[in-house]
Amino acid sequence: MRKIFTLSFLLISLFAFSKKPNGDKELALGKQMYKLEKASWYSTDHFLATYPDKIDSIGGYLSYLGENDYVYSIFFSRNDNYSILARYKFENTPNSVPVSVDTENTIAFENERNLIAIRQDAYKKLVESSDNFFQYYENTSYNFIPIISKSERAVYILTAPRENGYVLIGNDYKLSYNKKNEMVKKKKLHNSLITLPYSDSESEITTTMHSHVISDIIDPTDICTLLLYKEFVDWNQHIVISKDYVSIFEMDKETLLILTRKVWDKMYKK
């Protein structure tokens, strides 16, 4: 990792008219995944502190977007996956304090059943994998983010650190499903795992970066991870470089700019 000067969006815009991919979809999905994971963080903290007697009964958890942009987090039973131990409701951000916690309506709704089904199938496939498709690294864990929308039905799997002090980019996957909740495709989003420390004692870091081989531009999982840890790191900008394009993500502003590699190289040759 090296120190890179913070780029001005005004300056870049003078060079950015070449044909390039539109990153709006990746940005929107990355922000959605961030909201879901943030809700899972908050609800997990609350659940563990408030319902210690139910911890051994947890079969898993997940979060999803509901009506009016509310975010819901559910913890389902180990013995009956469609039995809900607790259902949290958060404002859109989400805020750290839930709007409500429901422990009485314990039967999973239809949308929750579908999310649980693909989430559990993805978990099973990861655990039982025998083809080395999924990679495991020491001091890490997996986070499962099931998403069902008009355009896709998928489970994104992210690798998270078990220790504080660094951000992990990569070793993430997308499992796609049909309407019967049967997996139809699995895809690696990165070829490796990259470790980025929160700070660097030897230099003042404003930007971090990594390269892409599989995808042309930044992945939604990258955006999700960067937003989750933006409050902990000293840097505020992350750059993804591929063969043909460069993605520049501003974490505080939550904005994404995509340049062609030709334009990027021309800027640095001057």
pLDDT surpasses 60 at 7: no
Residue-wise pLDDT for 54-91, tens only, equals 999 999 999 999 999 899 999 999 999 999 999 999 99
Please state the rounded mean pLDDT for residues 217-229: 97
pLDDT on residue 267: 85
Please state the rounded mean pLDDT for residues 27-51: 97
User: Which pLDDT band, with edges at 50, 70 and 90, does 202 fall under?
Assistant: low
User: Which pLDDT band, with edges at 50, 70 and 90, does 92 fall under?
Assistant: confident
Instruction: Spell out the SS3 assignment of the chain.
Output: CCCCCCCCHHHHHCCCCCCCCCCHHHHHHHHHHHHHHHHHHHHHHHHHHHCHHHHHHEEEEEEEECHHHCEEEEEEECCCCCEEEEEEEECCCCCCCCCEEECCCCECCHHHHHHHHHHHHHHHHHHHCCCCCCCCCCCEEEEEEEEECCCCEEEEEEEEECCCCEEEEECCEEEEECCCCCEEEEEECCCCEEEEECCCCCCCCCEEEEECCCCCCCCHHHHHHHHHCCCCCCCCEEEEECCCEEEEEECCCCEEEEEEHHHHHHHHHC
Q: What is the mean pLDDT of the chain?
A: 91
User: Which pLDDT band, with edges at 50, 70 and 90, does 270 fall under?
Assistant: low
pLDDT surpasses 70 at 43: yes
State pTM to two decimals: 0.91
pLDDT on residue 11: 45
pLDDT on residue 6: 45
Residue-wise pLDDT for 11-36, tens only, equals 444 444 456 788 999 999 999 999 99
pLDDT surpasses 80 at 201: no
